[in-house]
Structure 1
Amino acid sequence: MPEPPDSQLLALLTDASSNKLTQYFLVHAKDAVEAERFLIDQRLRKEQNIAVIIPQTNQNSTNWRVLIRKLWHPSGSPNVLNVNKWSSDTGLANTNDIFPDQMVNFYGTKLIASTLHYRPFVDYEIIEGSREVIPKPSIDIYTLDAIACKLNFTYDIVTPADGEWGVLKDNGHWTGILGDIEFGRANVSLGLVMMQERANSLDHTTMFFMDALTFITAKSPPNAPWQKLITPFQLKVWVCVVVSVCGGVLLYHVFYHIQATISSRLLDSDASMRILASFLTQSLHGYLWLSAGRVFLGFWFLYAFLVMTHYKTSLTSNLAVPFIPPPLDTLQQLLGSNMKYGTNEVKGAPHQLFPTSRIPLYQRLWRDLQFYSDENSMRMVVEGTFSYINYRSLLVLQMLMHNSNPRRKTDLYVAKEEFFPTGSAWYFPKVAELGPFRSTEDKSTSVILEDLQLIEEG
């Protein structure tokens, strides 16, 4: 450009939504003041490759100085760096790259990282009355320490003021951690689930960990001892047995009265006790001599024998091996049960996924989804009244933490079905200053996000 662009042209050139290729700015300025004003313009914060040439005339020849913006500087703000000089006599003074890699030294600059508890990736100790927290040993903290040592910066860890992971509001802005990044309250987030909506607004690192949503429940306890007497038969079988006994008593009375009518030989009969006695293999002291009655009793005794034999063998089996109802393993089973379910109240990926999903199963899940803290959710899970939906890695850790005796099996169960598989990454503003964190596989990551979305849409 023969001169620095005006405001209207600069707005078009720095519009990130229309940039498809890497941009290089080579601008001619009349003097160092104009060059410096252009290089440190805040509208160019997202651009990394900017150079300005200014003339420097002497008696014998015209020299040109090449200036660039130095993103990081001991002063803590961008500065102007003289990287080369050209003259008509000698050409370029050196062969160094006009756009050198500046992301090798942050000169001790302090960065702010925003995050929430997500063990084993992020753990910290809360400072009362402050957003700042004290980091504790965890995976993302170790990673941040290694990067800070390599690139020479320090950091503070803070939590978002609203205590949320972050969801996209109707006005197009983010809440929670993502809102801290968007509005400049923090420079970088720690591990966050990758979603297309987030990638559209913010830059991110390469995906470094894959996980998926699932749910945890309490294992069903064995039946109580008194229930073992009724569990050999299902409810339908018990209903059939009761109906058959009532019908047998009624028929016995009918045959008894018919016999009493046609003969003076009356039997001392208690129909209900005699019918029930057959189930307990008790002998009868008197029989109907009526042929139809004898046929009825014969079939009844055979029926009673088969029913009681099956009952006694099933009862013996239940006493030897207690029956434990099978656990819930799929969302369909969860929705078909009477159990309540929910997820974390600090709005994150599930709050973005379920209300916007076009999958009927997710829409139905969202209607009755409840929101509690991790502690309250796990307390209700342990009590057996709740199913907690979250990422598998977190639920497995929660299950181990709530197993008070490591030598015995836990009473909690993580479902086998997984849904909404995605990866974790760190997010930061789309500015040149944080280039070292940027993914080097932007195209591949975008394809992965689109594939994940297609998977969830079936």
Structure 2
Amino acid sequence: MSTTYRLPLYFSHLARLAMVLCMADSAGSNGDPEFSQVIASTNVLSRLPNNTHGSPHLLGNIVLHRHQLVPPILSANHSAGEVAGPAEAMVSLLKYAVPDTNLYLLYDDSHAGVNDFLRRHQKGEERSTTVLRYSDNLIPLQEVLTRPPSHTGTRHILLLCSIRHTQQIFQYVSKHNLESARVWWLTVVDGDAWRPLQRLLREGTQVTLAVRTSLTTYRLLTSTVASDGLPRFTLVGTWQLHPYGPVGQMNQPLVPDLYKRYENLEGREIVVAANDNLPFIGLRKLDDGRLVAHSGIDVEILNTLSQFLNFTYRVVSPPDGQWGGLLPDGTISGMIGQVARREVHIAICEITITGSREMVVDFTTPYYLESVALVSRAPAERNRAFAVFSPFTKQVWLGIAVSTLAIGPILAALTKMMAQYVTWPPLHQTSDYSFNMYRSLVVQSNLIVSRNWPIRFVFFFWYLFCFCIYAMYSGTLTAVLALPAFEKPIDGLADLPEAADHGFTLGVVRDSSIEFIFKEAQTGIYKKVWSLFNHEDRSQSFFKYPDQGFEKITEKKFVFLNPQLSSELRATQRGRENYYFSRETFYPQGYGVACNRGAPFLPKLNQMLAYMMEAGLILQWRVHQIMKASENSPRGDSKASRSSAITLKHLQATFFVLVLGFLLAVIMLGVEVITIKLWLSKAADSFSMEQICPTI
């Protein structure tokens, strides 16, 4: 369990001033000009606040410059002649080195005086400290290390444990990947006990050792990473305890600034995990088996980082060739697995930042944002054999046919009704009216002249009806014949179920973040789309590389779900006019650089990536990759937006109607000939009977 105590921050101005002057006088009498000069340079009198009647204030943050001595401090809890214990000595060291420290204390019973130190500082102090007592169960420590910070700055953990417990703590940190750039450890050890600790550390564990060489003297060692990538301890200063307070001499900052530390990696080799995946990174394998990154957006990023941060890099690919992530069985695949197991330092290759991946690796801020598109074969041009009927739907054509067939009988019935009150009989039959109304529909004159106003009103509105039909038909037909018509494209996730019903297969890169969002979906369109993949033969829907999916698009009815930029490049290489990109995209995602947990160079990478994005370099590299791909792409002839002359293919239905009319005329001719012959034969038989039997 953790307990919070208040630790002292401030000391009386007068007490501090008295001690400084006393030490200055002592140093001067002992002939120590260096210390006298440092005391004079602190200019303590000038740091005194104007108002000294309130609560005591800190004289000012005394910065530990190179080869600077720290004046002693008289604690309010000690009298002259009493030497502070390790706990208070290290707390006072942190106060000077890191004034705004967020302090955690982890201790056991190996250091004498810790309990007395805690009891003295339970009340009335300015700052709180989280206190943990060591036990074999280190889960409380893990909770502290993984807890999201509620403050800015670094967590400083003062570790006052035996060397055996200290080693167990760092072994636990390494085993559970608890390294963090926001955690700094300050540990007290004796003699050469620091050497085994050096072998336990990994990059990301920031440690300062206070090596006790005597009862009152500490050598201060800070962990750093050598050019070979292994952690080393380097001497940064000393810290001595005196009856009137500690005195320190620092050659380097006790807690280094990670931004400055990783500004220059001094030619260190960084191992990078990547797959061959243009436009982000293109790899070429040399004769000796080594991989060389030759082009791509991520290659430009790596080259820029290596130039400004002074490092070299070596590229390796995961054995499974996957981007990877945390699998249900607990293993970690692909490039993410290589980073999590610390086989490489970073991975950069269009890696999507996801929650599951962030559980095992650390990511930089996103340097590129995009969505996922649905790529399918370019829609084929529709059959134009019946293009002349395309201006109207089937329902409209049915309405026109019914109206044309009904108008003749209606006019004939109206004429017969009027014959009952007029003196002349009907002049036209139903067939006359039907034929002439059809003539009006096809923009021919009406040969019927009527003196009856009811008939004239019907004619008037029929002419108006025919005019509207003709105007809409002719205008729409011109547009339809001038531009080609295509099959319905796949424009979003909602179109996929219908596409699957028409024989389309869905595909995606396996073990990718895109597959993950469909597989983990419990409801909604993502769950429905997941059921449309070919799970019986996974090789037909889940591919190792995006290029395999693009090959399927041209072979059969296939929809490939892939990030937009990657799809644009591959479509450009193969002929952009052969592919169709959905109008709707989904799953906005950001790409980041995957780093080891607790990577101390992560803040510097974030800073450099921010500079590149602000300068527009990443967008410029994106355009360059697309232009480079288009230079070698096959030149196709896109007809989607180009008008064409009306050909015989467009008018096939017109000639079909004409031929149909001829056939119907021939059929009617045959019917009439047969009918007349039958009538003549019957008439001849009747005439013969009258000749034979005239009396009848």
Query: TM-score w.r.t. structure 2 length?
Result: 0.49
1:375 offset after TM fit, Å?
Answer: 2.9
Q: Is the 8 A contact 1:206 1:440 kept in 2?
A: no
Are 1:69 and 2:223 matched, yes or no? yes
* Alignment correspondent of 2:569: 397
SS at match of 2:560: strand
SS at match of 1:193: coil
- Judged with a 3 Å threshold, the aligned counterparts in structure 2 of structure 1 residues 50 and 129 are, in CA distance, closer, same or farther, namely same
1:147 offset after TM fit, Å?
Answer: 2.2
* One of 510, 517, 535 as aligned partner of 1:353: 517
SS at match of 1:232: coil
Q: Is the 8 A contact 1:205 1:426 kept in 2?
A: yes
* Alignment correspondent of 2:528: 364
Partner Cα distance (1:160, 1:79) in 2: 29
Taking only the aligned residue pairs, the percentage that are identical comes to 19
* Alignment correspondent of 2:387: 228
* Alignment correspondent of 1:333: 495
* Alignment correspondent of 2:322: 164
* One of 339, 344, 356 as aligned partner of 1:197: 356
* Alignment correspondent of 1:451: none
SS at match of 2:205: coil
- Judged with a 3 Å threshold, the aligned counterparts in structure 2 of structure 1 residues 346 and 134 are, in CA distance, closer, same or farther, namely farther
Partner Cα distance (1:314, 1:65) in 2: 91
Are 1:27 and 2:204 matched, yes or no? no
- Judged with a 3 Å threshold, the aligned counterparts in structure 2 of structure 1 residues 39 and 382 are, in CA distance, closer, same or farther, namely same
1:153 offset after TM fit, Å?
Answer: 2.8
* Alignment correspondent of 1:449: none
Q: 1:25-59: per-residue Cα shift (whole Å, max 9, x none)?
A: 22222x12x111123314x654113323130x5xx
Range with greater deviation from structure 2 (416-425 or 225-234)? 225-234
Are 1:110 and 2:263 matched, yes or no? no
Aligned ranges for residues 288-303 of structure 1 at < 5 Å?
A: none
* One of 374, 395, 406 as aligned partner of 2:546: 374
Partner Cα distance (2:342, 2:298) in 1: 21
- Tell me which amino acid in the other structure corresponds to 2:513: A
- Judged with a 3 Å threshold, the aligned counterparts in structure 2 of structure 1 residues 437 and 357 are, in CA distance, closer, same or farther, namely farther
- Judged with a 3 Å threshold, the aligned counterparts in structure 2 of structure 1 residues 203 and 440 are, in CA distance, closer, same or farther, namely farther
Partner Cα distance (1:9, 1:411) in 2: 60
Q: 1:155-182: per-residue Cα shift (whole Å, max 9, x none)?
A: 2212221121113211222211111222
* Alignment correspondent of 1:208: 367
- Tell me which amino acid in the other structure corresponds to 2:248: L
Are 1:138 and 2:296 matched, yes or no? yes
Partner Cα distance (1:54, 1:416) in 2: 69
SS at match of 1:70: strand
1:95 offset after TM fit, Å?
Answer: 5.4
Are 1:148 and 2:306 matched, yes or no? yes
Partner Cα distance (2:220, 2:376) in 1: 65
1:344 offset after TM fit, Å?
Answer: 3.6
Partner Cα distance (1:47, 1:431) in 2: 7
* Alignment correspondent of 1:79: 232
1:70 offset after TM fit, Å?
Answer: 2.6
Q: Is the 8 A contact 1:133 1:158 kept in 2?
A: yes
Q: Is the 8 A contact 1:205 1:437 kept in 2?
A: no
1:212 offset after TM fit, Å?
Answer: 1.4
1:321 offset after TM fit, Å?
Answer: 3.9
Are 1:49 and 2:204 matched, yes or no? no
Partner Cα distance (2:476, 2:219) in 1: 95
- Judged with a 3 Å threshold, the aligned counterparts in structure 2 of structure 1 residues 106 and 281 are, in CA distance, closer, same or farther, namely closer
Partner Cα distance (1:283, 1:80) in 2: 106
Q: Is the 8 A contact 1:35 1:52 kept in 2?
A: no
* Alignment correspondent of 2:597: 430
- Judged with a 3 Å threshold, the aligned counterparts in structure 2 of structure 1 residues 109 and 20 are, in CA distance, closer, same or farther, namely closer
SS at match of 1:145: helix
Partner Cα distance (1:21, 1:113) in 2: 24
- Tell me which amino acid in the other structure corresponds to 1:103: Y
Partner Cα distance (2:247, 2:476) in 1: 98
* Alignment correspondent of 1:444: none
1:224 offset after TM fit, Å?
Answer: 3.7
RMSD of aligned alpha carbons? 4.9
Larger radius of gyration: 2
* Alignment correspondent of 1:294: none
Partner Cα distance (2:216, 2:168) in 1: 32
* Alignment correspondent of 1:319: 481
Aligned ranges for residues 178-189 of structure 1 at < 5 Å?
A: 178-189=336-347
- Judged with a 3 Å threshold, the aligned counterparts in structure 2 of structure 1 residues 328 and 241 are, in CA distance, closer, same or farther, namely same
Q: 1:353-402: per-residue Cα shift (whole Å, max 9, x none)?
A: 11112441111111113334433433444578333221222223334333
Q: Is the 8 A contact 1:40 1:69 kept in 2?
A: no
- Tell me which amino acid in the other structure corresponds to 1:24: W
Q: 1:199-258: per-residue Cα shift (whole Å, max 9, x none)?
A: 111112122111111223344344344241332332444566788999999x9xxxxxxx
- Tell me which amino acid in the other structure corresponds to 1:318: V
Which structure is richer in relative contact order (CA contacts within 8 A, separation 6 or more)? 1
- Tell me which amino acid in the other structure corresponds to 2:561: I
- Judged with a 3 Å threshold, the aligned counterparts in structure 2 of structure 1 residues 331 and 432 are, in CA distance, closer, same or farther, namely closer
- Tell me which amino acid in the other structure corresponds to 2:273: S
SS at match of 2:385: helix
Query: TM-score w.r.t. structure 1 length?
Result: 0.71
* Alignment correspondent of 2:279: 120
Partner Cα distance (2:472, 2:606) in 1: 67
- Tell me which amino acid in the other structure corresponds to 1:171: D
Q: 1:316-357: per-residue Cα shift (whole Å, max 9, x none)?
A: 442234444564433213443456353443431102211112
Q: 1:284-331: per-residue Cα shift (whole Å, max 9, x none)?
A: 9xxxxxxxxxxxxxx999999987776555434422344445644332
Unpaired stretches in structure 2, ≥5 consecutive residues: 1-159, 411-428, 447-460, 534-540, 609-696
- Tell me which amino acid in the other structure corresponds to 1:70: T
Q: Is the 8 A contact 2:508 2:562 kept in 1?
A: yes
Partner Cα distance (2:266, 2:405) in 1: 92
SS at match of 1:144: helix
Partner Cα distance (1:62, 1:314) in 2: 98
- Judged with a 3 Å threshold, the aligned counterparts in structure 2 of structure 1 residues 318 and 86 are, in CA distance, closer, same or farther, namely closer
- Tell me which amino acid in the other structure corresponds to 2:270: L
Q: 1:48-87: per-residue Cα shift (whole Å, max 9, x none)?
A: 13323130x5xxx96432223332245x533231221234
- Judged with a 3 Å threshold, the aligned counterparts in structure 2 of structure 1 residues 148 and 242 are, in CA distance, closer, same or farther, namely same
- Tell me which amino acid in the other structure corresponds to 1:64: Y
Unpaired stretches in structure 1, ≥5 consecutive residues: 252-266, 285-298, 405-409, 442-458
Q: 1:189-208: per-residue Cα shift (whole Å, max 9, x none)?
A: 00411111111111121221
- Judged with a 3 Å threshold, the aligned counterparts in structure 2 of structure 1 residues 320 and 144 are, in CA distance, closer, same or farther, namely closer
The number of residue pairs the alignment matches comes to 422
Q: 1:94-143: per-residue Cα shift (whole Å, max 9, x none)?
A: 3531233443444444332111233322122245895x422112221122
